[in-house]
Structure 1
Amino acid sequence: MAFKHKDLWFWDSWYVRDGDIWHGYFLQAPKSLGDPDARHLNATQRHAVSKDLVNWTDMGTTFEPQRNGAAWDDSTTWTASVVRGDDGLWHLFYTGTCLAEQSLYQRIGHATSTDLHNWTRVGDGLALDLTGPNADCYEKDHAIGHWHDRAMRDPWVMKDPEGKGWLMYFTARVPGVPEPNAGGAIGFATSPDLMSWTLLPPVFHGGFGQLEVPQVFQAGRHWYCLFCTFSIHWSEQYRRDNPQAPVTGSHYLIADHPRGPWRIAPGAFLDGAEPCRRYAARIVDGPQGLVILGFSDSGKASFGGYIMDPEPVRIGPGGLLQIEPLARAAE
């Protein structure tokens, strides 16, 4: 019962629960493009609902780039997260890029909704950029020849567990690291009200060239930051620390507090293969407990482009995450 469409590719996804209904959001692009790599610059967002994270009712396109002239997000509206604010509104925080910058500079946008489907940008939509007193903690300009973009994407927003507003995590990079694959970071910002944001230094950097699609959550006594990355973006240090052959997929950081200190989870990479089996995964506390969802990749030659059915996740010794092997065998 994977979520798929005969005419569309789906990839990165995010989920929010309202009562007994799960709302899933998915990046989409038409298969008529021919080349799966072309999907990134032709992405919009789709919406579906489910009671079990397996059977989905398609609600259609829900959000897309601004089409009314030059805007900071007139090229792409990429990966996002959704939370319900203290004001009762639903808040969408998303990645945006613009045509004038060849979609190379990413920023974080903000829109609101009363029904989880129809979204209205807050002002011009721009919520956060790599500017201000802490901007120098980041690779705030495109390091041409060193990395392929100016990374600031995939916002994950959550209530501060200490009750003092909101926290945002995002994919970023730090400056001044000679090895490109050691410069990946998890950026960080805070807000009292979801409307005004303060950029703070990253909560983690190192290990990989990029830590994409971060998701921070608590399970048991530990905090986890799930992320995805490519085998070609493992740093030299991580290759020494983890002697397995590099794989593409999802791994995680672990901490005792959402502000860190964070560390790369020891042991085997959580959910990887070469070519990649599942990418941009999320771990959701569903009707049957923790499950992992992500999109079928399989590499460009046989790109899946659909959302795979959830598989159970359990917390093993030392708080390390494990994907249930029976679920894998059953696919």
Structure 2
Amino acid sequence: MLSIEHFYLLLALFLLYAGLRNLREKRFAHAAFWVLIAVLFAGGKFVLDAAKTGDKIPAQLAGAAVIALALLATRMRREHIDEAPAAQRLASAMRLGHQLFVPALIIPVVTVLIVLFGAKLAIGGTPVFGEGSITLIGLALACVVATFAAIHITRERPAAALGEGRRLLDTMGWAALLPIVLATLGGVFAASGVGDAVASIVSMLIPADSRLACVLAYGLGMVLFTVIMGNAFAAFPVMTAGIGLPLLIEQHGAAPAILGSIGMLTGYCGTLMTPMAANFNLVPAALLELDDPNAVIRAQLPTAIPLLLVNLALMYWLAFR
């Protein structure tokens, strides 16, 4: 039976590998950073189980590790990591052609198939997939399948996948953690009552009985919070708890599924506009060695703004039908 914990352990092993490679190369800050994260991923279930029994020490140790990660991040520097020569990479790309897209396409296809049919799969009456979100399990399994597909297509050794994965991870550095950290931040904000505070402020500033005003406040609020926090996953629980649920769903009768899906997409318009989304906007500029670190954001603005306007219109027309 596959559970999300199996994939967390697999990820922990990869992070440990990245840490040991950095240790061998005397990049001590990088080594400590990835090893600490590996320990957190591997011991996450233990921390949660201990918290349920009232033992706070593992959670406190995990908190200390997070503080240590923040300190280590300040010591991490982007350095050139050797890769295959440009001529060799070009020749490989010409040889493989469009086959290079197959592993990338496998990830969404396998994920969707597992989400749709995974809950029905069983062997001898035992479900194939166990505890955890079926979507996360599907995505994790899809990534593993795509890795083996890439190895088969390129005819490379499995060690090449580990080496290239580690090279990309070190190139991104601490920014690789931003999606996880920012999504967690959104949950913390929601649990600490930020959503209620937002609802109070919005109720004072806009006419709460106006459907259009509430839609604009929700959509633009998603964009603004995403720009500030760098990720729509962080903005979504705050804005939905503050505006979406009490004003649009409960007061004006908006359809939750439509409002939530379009609202999340609206938030990602903010992702296209902010340097806080470093893993999306700053890391690609660094990888491509662009002179302007904000070049990616400038290129995305002509898409982000029209998409925002279209999303607001769709939200107003579809969520209340």
TM-score, normalized by the shorter chain, greater than 0.5: no
**Structure number with larger C-alpha Rg:** 2
Q: Which of the pair is proportionally richer in helix?
A: 2
Larger relative strand fraction: 1
